[in-house]
Structure 1
Amino acid sequence: MTLQKTRQLTQEDVPVGQPLPFPLADSGGRLLLPAGAVVPDAEDVRLLFHHGPVLALDEGEGVEVAAPAASGEAKPRLASSGLSVGTVLQVQEKSAPLRGLLPCRLIGYIEGEALFVTQPADGKRTLRPEIRDILLLRGFSGRAVVTMMCSVVSVGQFPAPYLVLSAPIKMQKMPLRRAKRVQVRIGARLRPDGQAASAADRVAVIRDICLNGALVQSASAAFQPGDRLALDFSAYVDGQLESFSLTGRVASGSPALGAPASAFPSFGMEFSLSKEQTAQLSHLIIDRLDE
């Protein structure tokens, strides 16, 4: 994912206590904080600049989206993917990659012939594709993120809206070890678990992340092992801006074991993820493996 037209900022360019008028990115163009996020304190601004330059992104430019790689199998078999009936899938129209992912559920399949999924929808939008439209589907098998391409065969309404899709045209499996940890620089909002998000939530920077947890750096007071926290952030995955809200407990105090000394305290966080959150975070980690 690449966003064009960036300019380097100084700390004075970042408003404190007001919604950001533009997204912030690191020196490689990766999103730090989205437009509209509030940086509540000058120390939070210092934290954002602590690990290198901060850029302003022009959202008017397009996003480059990489097409999913084709599987080496001539005829992909769904049974070999590890996806089971009941798995939540994320669906995207191939013709509209920036329109956003919608969830659905795999409700059945006939190997080599058809897949049956609930109509993709969330609280704001429902996907109503036409016959022969191409859809990209993504799911987590428990061991790998599976991406596949199917065409729409028909649309049913009884007993509830559903889609009949062709057998996968292409399929890709990306194995992911649960403890695979990647280095990142992602701006996040930090709050006690169970407390509603607010503009006063302190900014944090995620320094590395895996399915088990993350190393988090904060300008606020140190947290103690066992504290329950919520970590909210946004990141581009396959060219699409996705929102993450992950909860867990502080696994190590500040500084985290093995972390170098820093002007800002850091701590380890151990996640408690649902299956859907695991699938979403898996795809982000795969996307960042080459950083």
Structure 2
Amino acid sequence: MPKTPLQPIKRTDIKIGSPLPYAVFDVHGRLLLRAGEVIETERQLSTLHEPGLYLASGELTRVSRPFSTTHETPVDASEVATDGSARESRRLSELKLTPGKTLYVDFLSTTNRPRVALRLAGFLEGSGVLISALNAEGNVVPFRDNELLFVRVLTASGVATFEAKVLKVHFTPFPYVVTSYPEAAIFHVMRQHERVDTQIICSIANLSRPVKDEPRPQAAVLKNLSASGCQIEAPPELADSGDRLRLGFKLVAAGEEHVLSLTGDVRGIKTYGEVGKRRFGLQFCELGIGERLVVEHFIFHALIGD
């Protein structure tokens, strides 16, 4: 346990893919990561940060902060994370956001307030951003002047994040807040086949094996998912390479539960340590527009930690 007092680390103080400039502790002072270790993915950061991360007081003054804030120099314009996904620094105007776009807002000034989904009212380049203070239920979300916000927004090609400070709260003609205009947004470019880890119960039927009646489904676990395919964990006798499978499972997207029935071809089979289980890699047959939208919406929200 460190001899000096601990202070909380903001999520935005940690730069994915770069060596930590200081040791990181949990709330009880137990060492989690040594200086120089690397958090490689957004999911790792979310898992670690959920119960709280801390550093020894004074460490932030000894080293430069890994992430820029609204009033500091933006990060380099081109970075590549260790998972192969590109991260870029872009101007907010380059994101081509339109009024009504959903923004996912975290309150950096306190850990007691949950993330809220609000609508973009508009922005004036170089001056400020206007955000509606009404949530999806029509209730007013309270804001305080000078409160620091961390904002995520989904676009057609990726996820953008930026920090902004509340400049003014207004209630007429409708409740909205004016925030500072970010010098830059960090843009996570979605890979063509972005994949997220899952643990979803599903049913599988092998369509390639001759049967008299409808193929009998088996229970399996969906281990990861992308818009082009997935990996499932199932009994070894389920399929051979090249077999076509029908996969049924449920996904929650846009606040609603969707039941999907997709077909895919087995492109790879891996044997794992657990007795009686194998991992089957599936490439989906062409998805319908509705099915693709549901899958991509689920993946987007998984990536932003929703």
Partner of 1:112: helix, strand, or coil? Answer: coil
1:210 and 2:226 aligned: yes
- Larger-Rg structure: 2
Identify which of 186, 198, 210 aligns with 1:172: 186
Work out the CA distance in 2 between the residues paired with 1:282 and 1:120: 24
Aligned 8 A contact 1:226 1:251 in 2 = yes
Work out the CA distance in 2 between the residues paired with 1:251 and 1:227: 6
1:63 and 2:52 aligned: yes
Identify which of 108, 111, 133 aligns with 2:147: 133
- Once the 2 structures are TM-superposed, how far is the Cα of residue 96 of structure 1 from its aligned partner? 2.6
Work out the CA distance in 2 between the residues paired with 1:120 and 1:92: 15
Tell me: higher relative CO, structure 1 or 2? Use CA pairs within 8 A at least 6 residues apart.
1
Aligned 8 A contact 1:150 1:170 in 2 = no
Identify which of 262, 275, 278 aligns with 1:250: 262
1:160 and 2:180 aligned: no
Work out the CA distance in 1 between the residues paired with 2:54 and 2:135: 22
- Report the CA distance shift for 1:156/1:204 in structure 2 as closer, same or farther (over 3 A): farther
1:187 and 2:205 aligned: no
Q: Deviations over 1:235-275 (max 9, x none)?
A: xxxxxxxx99675433326xx33123573465747653357
Q: Deviations over 1:157-184 (max 9, x none)?
A: 34432222110155211111231346x4
1:259 and 2:262 aligned: no
Q: Which residue of 1 aligns with 2:250?
A: 230
Q: Which residue of 2 aligns with 1:272?
A: 292
Work out the CA distance in 2 between the residues paired with 1:212 and 1:97: 37
Give TM-score scaled by structure 1 length: 0.54
1:281 and 2:295 aligned: no
Give TM-score scaled by structure 2 length: 0.52
Aligned 8 A contact 2:251 2:298 in 1 = no
Q: Deviations over 1:170-210 (max 9, x none)?
A: 5211111231346x4x4334489xxxxxxxxx986443333
One-letter amino acid matched to 2:53: E
Identify which of 98, 102, 108 aligns with 1:84: 98
- Corresponding pairs, count: 210
Q: Which residue of 1 aligns with 2:75?
A: 72
- Structure 2 stretches of 5 or more lacking a match? 1-10, 12-24, 29-42, 56-64, 69-73, 78-88, 205-217
- Report the CA distance shift for 1:187/1:4 in structure 2 as closer, same or farther (over 3 A): farther
Work out the CA distance in 2 between the residues paired with 1:65 and 1:247: 41
Aligned 8 A contact 1:246 1:273 in 2 = no
One-letter amino acid matched to 1:116: L
Aligned 8 A contact 1:104 1:120 in 2 = yes
One-letter amino acid matched to 1:279: F
Work out the CA distance in 2 between the residues paired with 1:91 and 1:119: 11
- Report the CA distance shift for 1:276/1:124 in structure 2 as closer, same or farther (over 3 A): farther
Q: Which aligned pairs between 1:30-45 and structure 2 lie closer than 5 A?
A: none
Partner of 1:258: helix, strand, or coil? Answer: strand
- Structure 1 stretches of 5 or more lacking a match? 6-29, 32-56, 193-201, 233-242, 285-291
